[in-house]
Amino acid sequence: MSNMERIYQIDQILGAHQSATRKELQERLGVSWATLKRDFAFMRDRLNAPLIFDRSLGGYRFEETRGRLGQQYELPGLWFTAEEIHALLTMQHLLSNLDTGGLLGPQIQPLLARLSGLLGTADNPIEEVQRRIRIQTVGARAFHLDHFQAVGSALLRRKRLIIRYHARGTDVVSEREVSPQRLNHYRDNWYLDAWCHLRHALRAFSVDAIEHAEILDKRARDIADQRLDEVLGSGYGIFAGDQVSWAVLRFTPERARWVAAERWHPKQEGKELDDGRYELRVPYADDRELIMDIMKYGGDCEVIEPEVLQARVLAEFELALARYRR
């Protein structure tokens, strides 16, 4: 019987019989007093078990903790190996880099302490994970925790929101009522997909541009997932639209192997040409983000079609060139 199995047995015995003597526990578990003492110490120190010796009963029992403040004790239903605990700590480290507003930190921290304690090492495994695994984000924007919590709460409770929103493209601040549909984490930033009751249409709102959010006691309008994907997920990037066009891009042989490994869109189509170039087809409804991605490749990317996209990219390059020639 492993030490974790013994601890589970101790929990079951004390839970069923209220108390048990040292002799009873040793006989039931088939262990020495030294081993039993180590199990007691593990339960108290690592699992926060309120395990005490009751002189009046002449045995061990769990101290009643109801009605007073103190650390909770609950024996986990699953036991993890050291490798599994390290994987969980690594997963939390990855998650914390999405949680830039600190939304989940206070809730997850007690779990991390328990997992760290279960490893039983002198070193701090949480700090070791943070030191050994580096996560670098580019372009992530800060958001207000209160607004994010309100948005998330309304989303899950299916309530409407009143938001004050700053549209950076037009520099206009507006107040509108929205029915939240889903939160979307895209390129290190959070977006709220919602039905806008002001525009009577689906919109994607950048969470960091929400200046105020108030939950209303009104049922949110539900939009089918298929419709959400048609309007907000069919085009390229975060910009929405019903009218989808297809861009055909060709990359030089020097960039072909890089682009071939990239995921520009879930429905993209790509093929390697006979001369070593790579041709990529991607759908888009709004060309703003697509143009930015095309331009980062400079002369290594050529827009084949449509002509309107060719003209837009050419105009952007000419504008940039004109600025450098001043």
Give 36-67 pLDDT, tens digit per residue: 999 999 888 878 888 999 998 899 998 876 44
Over 50: is that where the pLDDT of 90 sits?
A: yes
Over 70: is that where the pLDDT of 295 sits?
A: yes
Fold for the domain defined by 145-233: SH3 type barrels. (2.30.30)
What confidence tier does 6 reach under pLDDT thresholds 50, 70, 90?
Answer: confident
In angstroms, rounded to a whole number, what is the distance separating the alpha carbons of residues 145 and 140?
15
Looking at residue 70, its amino acid is G
- Tell the residue number behind the tokens 């903790």, with chain if given: 65
Residue of higher predicted confidence among 174 and 187? 174
Which letter does DSSP use for residue 298 in this model? G
Helix (H) or strand (E) holding 31: none
- Give the model's pLDDT for residue 46: 79
CA distances from 280 to 220, 304, 326 (A): 39, 10, 35
DSSP characters over 94-141: HHHTT-TT-SSHHHHHHHHHHHHHHHT-SS-HHHHHHHH-----SS--
What confidence tier does 129 reach under pLDDT thresholds 50, 70, 90?
Answer: low
Helix (H) or strand (E) holding 68: none
Quick check: 284 and 244 in contact, CB under 8 A?
Answer: yes
- Give the model's pLDDT for residue 64: 75
What confidence tier does 285 reach under pLDDT thresholds 50, 70, 90?
Answer: confident
User: How far from chain centre, in Å, is Cα 21?
Assistant: 48
Over 80: is that where the pLDDT of 118 sits?
A: no
Residues 6 or more apart whose Cβ sits within 8 Å of residue 72? 48, 65
- Give the model's pLDDT for residue 234: 65
Helix (H) or strand (E) holding 325: none
Task: Give pTM, 2 decimals.
Answer: 0.59
For the ranges 117-131, 136-150, 172-186, 294-308, which has the lowest average pLDDT?
A: 117-131
For the ranges 166-170, 194-198, 269-273, 274-278, which has the lowest average pLDDT?
A: 166-170
**pLDDT average, residue stretch 253-281:** 94
Name the average pLDDT for the chain.
Answer: 83
Domain spans of the chain, in order of start:
3-62, 82-132, 145-233, 245-324
Over 90: is that where the pLDDT of 111 sits?
A: no
Alpha helices in the chain (DSSP H): 3-17, 22-29, 33-47, 82-96, 105-119, 125-132, 145-157, 225-228, 253-260, 288-295, 307-324
- Joined tokens for residue 124: 């701090």
In angstroms, rounded to a whole number, what is the distance separating the alpha carbons of residues 260 and 256?
6
Closest to 212 in 3D by CA, of 280, 143, 272, 157: 143
Residue of higher predicted confidence among 305 and 78? 305
**pLDDT average, residue stretch 5-27:** 86
SS3 250: strand
User: How far from chain centre, in Å, is Cα 306?
Assistant: 36
User: What architecture is domain 3-62?
Assistant: Orthogonal Bundle (1.10)
Residues 6 or more apart whose Cβ sits within 8 Å of residue 187? 139, 238
